[in-house]
Structure 1
Amino acid sequence: MLNYWNARIYLKMGNKWYLLFSRINRDEHRKTFYRIADSPDGPWMICRDAEGHHETFDGLYLYAGKTASDGTTRYLSGWCSTGQTVNNNNELPWAGNLISHQLVQGTSGQLYPKIPEALNSKFNKEVAFEKLSSVGQVSESNKTYRLSAQSGGRSYALFNRNTSTVKMTMTIDASQSNQFGFSFGACDDPTEVYSIAFDLTSSNRWNMPALLMNKEARNGGGSKTALNFTPLTVPTNRIFNLKISIEKSICVVYVNDRVAFTNRIYKMDQNPWTIFVDQGIVTVNGLKVEKSS
């Protein structure tokens, strides 16, 4: 298959040169990519280190990314498609909302996306939240949640709906689990939800740890269709510090200042949401919901 590149950008950070481009192929890899070199003449390579290879910034829902700097910090801005699923041409609609990530350069030259500091600090007024119900093995103590499930089952805690733009933060200890995440659009009868799933194995179709956005029937108990994915960097201690930015139908998940995952979920707006585990045990600490003051 031919690769069609669009919106090429050349830039230098530190002693490394970068080539950024977007693939316009009608497949699961229509994303913004980058290559790295020691010279503007190349050769252009995929950045590889002990954590794996680094060549994208996000999933399918951040497209046509361009970079800009304020002289100190570099940002990547792209478009989150207004579409939730691909059209008859096997591609997401081109119209969208602007999304920006802050870029951090790693020691090997890799570029990591994180939540921009201005956006992170803007959300500083805590919002009360409530666990409405739970299914399976879920315990709670001082806003710390422990969820346990056997393979093939799902335990989850259901939380009240968010009625405004918010940032959610939490730490998840997944030292005893490979599969967990969040689901949105969890109505009173959660027959159809959209999940942000952490798969720490390499047993999925991408053969690597991944973040996936799935359309699920019966809250994980029925059919499951993957709509989006991005590679996931798994730390040795398997502890994940998360910041989740939610505005109406747009959800951006930031993981350990290493991974960004943008999605469009129309059922998310003003519907309850869940934390779930599909295998093993996860512990959720420091859950906080904040809005702009």
Structure 2
Amino acid sequence: MNLFYTPEYAKTGDVIPFYNQKTKRFENYYLKNWNPDAPKDKIVYGWHQIITEDNRIYKETPTNIQGGTGSVIEVDGVYHMFYCTFDQNPPAQWARHATSKDLVHWEDIPEDKFGPDGEIYRMSDWRDPHVFWNEEEKKWWMILAARENAATERNGCVALCVSDDLSHWEYRKPLYASRTNQAANECPDFFKMGDWYYLVFSNYTDGFCTYYRMSRSPKGPWIRPERDTFDGRAFYAAKTGSDGTHRYVYGWNPTRGENGWDFDPGKDFGKDYCTWNWGGSIVVHQLVQHEDGTLGVCPVESVANAFHHSEKTEIRGLSGNWEHRADGTLCSSEDGFAAALGSVIPAQCCIKAKLRYEGTPTRFGLALQVDEAFDFGYYLMFEPQFNRIQYRSGLRMYEQGGQMFPYAVEMERPLKLEPGKEYEIALYIQDTIGVLYINNDVAFGFRMYNWKNRHLGFFVSDGTMEVKNAAVLTE
């Protein structure tokens, strides 16, 4: 079973969502990054079409388009693809335009190729064109990943061009320029939900995530919500698509192990300690809009309903006092760390539980792929004093982990934590991929390479935790 699509011999890069109103299904595209060991007779470069009716199972077909991320729209029975290409000598980036009658065979329009103007926008980054109809202005808008001419190198922006005919474009000042990032705001996306407009983009400087901003007007000003991301470090280049009822955000959870950036440690500690690759597996979240316009995410229906067999997991204490009650298991550990083991974790499953804490624990949560030693494995740590969830892999508990690339927090997601409140978790696992959802509103994706076929665990340090309805769901 595939919960998160990974092509054979390759990695999924940026997804370009397109919902076909005629067939009533998503006929998306993605950038395919072939693995170094891929058989040469299977390699087809360029955009690949992936058709899905449930955002979980895909049928793939290559296209003849060679280039980077963009967007697809339908106008009067003709499909228009906007994408980007790159020159190396001298370096240059270009927005491109192609058309099709069937979404598979595309004809490029060479005369529609254009780059940055050199005045508003620097003659460097100019990619990932996203085109949509602006009903208020009665014009086509194109937003792009670009860099504005600014006072400092913190000039990454979302560029704006407008058109009456999809061929001739007028440069305008950036739609969004926060003077924060030293790189272009990649894969920009734009949509309206209810009374709010949303701008989505990804960046890899001063953070490495897909972000969103919100406004009452398509022109801004753009508000940064308190939690302005959909997922963590392991969810990038995400763009959204809607079937008219629900809106979904499509990103990729990267693999590890190719050392493409020459950052891997000299000693082999396993793939858990290798740098991220470009591309990996498609992860799709369904957007949830709150009353104040801010956004959360929950699993798509096909993933949420993928597992039907549920087995309650017994909780066996290793340290600390674990008290079993009719409605759950309680552990009070005011003077240190308490640990317990549960079931063996299948290769593909969903782990569900409800967690509640009292007092001021330094951390509590789930351990994955641990054994009786409760050391090596993976830890999802709820940390009330920081209002976050932290992901930490086992080597960081040891001296070698402290000698690695110097950061104390491996990965984290913001989450306001309150004593006495129940946190419902659903953790979907597909081999090395893990995607955690909390209260059907917050997502946290990660990878687990070094350890498998071991146990689920629970822990609490310097406080009290209650675990209810802990179960492992399988096919």
Q: What's the TM-score once normalised by structure 1's chain length?
A: 0.85
Establish whether residue 242 from structure 1 lines up as the match of residue 422 from structure 2. Answer: no
Question: SS where residue 226 of structure 1 aligns?
Answer: coil
Query: Which ranges in structure 1 are unaligned for 5 or more consecutive residues?
Result: 48-52, 203-208
Identify which range, 221-230 or 172-181, moves more after superposition.
Answer: 221-230
Identify which range, 136-145 or 167-176, moves more after superposition.
Answer: 136-145
Larger gyration radius, structure 1 or structure 2:
2
Looking at structure 1, the residues matched to 451 and 290 of structure 2 have their Cα atoms a distance apart, in angstroms, of 33
- Give a deviation string over 1:173-225, Cα, whole Å, max 9, x none: 113343201112213444422211001113xxxxxx11111134597999775
For the Cα contact (< 8 Å) 2:340–2:458, is it kept in 1?
A: yes
Establish whether residue 30 from structure 1 lines up as the match of residue 208 from structure 2. Answer: yes
Corresponding residue for residue 416 of structure 2: 233
Q: 1:139 to 1:180 in 2, by over 3 A?
A: same
Question: 444, 464, 467: which is aligned to 1:281?
Answer: 464
Deviation at 1:113, TM superposition (A): 0.9
- Give a deviation string over 1:44-93, Cα, whole Å, max 9, x none: 1112xxxxx12111110111111111211111111111128995459632
For the Cα contact (< 8 Å) 1:216–1:222, is it kept in 2?
A: no
Deviation at 1:249, TM superposition (A): 1.4
Question: 300, 311, 325: which is aligned to 1:141?
Answer: 325
Aligned sequence identity (%): 26
Question: 171, 188, 198: which is aligned to 1:18?
Answer: 198
Amino acid at match of 1:93: N
For the Cα contact (< 8 Å) 1:171–1:286, is it kept in 2?
A: yes
Question: 227, 238, 241: which is aligned to 1:68?
Answer: 241
For the Cα contact (< 8 Å) 2:427–2:437, is it kept in 1?
A: yes
Amino acid at match of 1:12: K
What does 1:261-272 correspond to in 2, within 5 Å? 261-272=444-455
For the Cα contact (< 8 Å) 1:171–1:285, is it kept in 2?
A: yes
Looking at structure 1, the residues matched to 415 and 422 of structure 2 have their Cα atoms a distance apart, in angstroms, of 13
Deviation at 1:235, TM superposition (A): 5.1
Amino acid at match of 1:165: Q
Looking at structure 2, the residues matched to 55 and 21 of structure 1 have their Cα atoms a distance apart, in angstroms, of 11
Establish whether residue 44 from structure 1 lines up as the match of residue 222 from structure 2. Answer: yes
Deviation at 1:147, TM superposition (A): 1.7
Looking at structure 2, the residues matched to 103 and 236 of structure 1 have their Cα atoms a distance apart, in angstroms, of 27
Question: SS where residue 118 of structure 1 aligns?
Answer: helix
Looking at structure 2, the residues matched to 221 and 33 of structure 1 have their Cα atoms a distance apart, in angstroms, of 34
Question: 338, 341, 353: which is aligned to 1:158?
Answer: 341
Corresponding residue for residue 80 of structure 1: 253
Looking at structure 2, the residues matched to 281 and 133 of structure 1 have their Cα atoms a distance apart, in angstroms, of 14
Q: 1:32 to 1:254 in 2, by over 3 A?
A: same
- Give a deviation string over 1:145-165, Cα, whole Å, max 9, x none: 1122235x2111112322231
Looking at structure 2, the residues matched to 229 and 269 of structure 1 have their Cα atoms a distance apart, in angstroms, of 22
Q: What's the TM-score once normalised by structure 2's chain length?
A: 0.54
Q: 1:191 to 1:156 in 2, by over 3 A?
A: closer
- Give a deviation string over 1:232-272, Cα, whole Å, max 9, x none: 13357422111111111111111112211111112453221
Amino acid at match of 1:231: P
For the Cα contact (< 8 Å) 2:388–2:413, is it kept in 1?
A: yes
Amino acid at match of 1:193: G
For the Cα contact (< 8 Å) 2:341–2:372, is it kept in 1?
A: no
Looking at structure 1, the residues matched to 358 and 250 of structure 2 have their Cα atoms a distance apart, in angstroms, of 33
Corresponding residue for residue 215 of structure 1: 393
Amino acid at match of 1:242: I
Query: Which ranges in structure 2 are unaligned for 5 or more consecutive residues?
Result: 1-152, 155-180, 265-274, 403-407
Number of aligned residues: 278
Corresponding residue for residue 377 of structure 2: 193
Amino acid at match of 2:198: Y
Corresponding residue for residue 311 of structure 2: 127
Question: SS where residue 109 of structure 1 aligns?
Answer: coil
Looking at structure 2, the residues matched to 127 and 92 of structure 1 have their Cα atoms a distance apart, in angstroms, of 34
Looking at structure 1, the residues matched to 471 and 429 of structure 2 have their Cα atoms a distance apart, in angstroms, of 13
Amino acid at match of 1:71: G
Q: 1:7 to 1:122 in 2, by over 3 A?
A: same
Looking at structure 2, the residues matched to 18 and 146 of structure 1 have their Cα atoms a distance apart, in angstroms, of 42
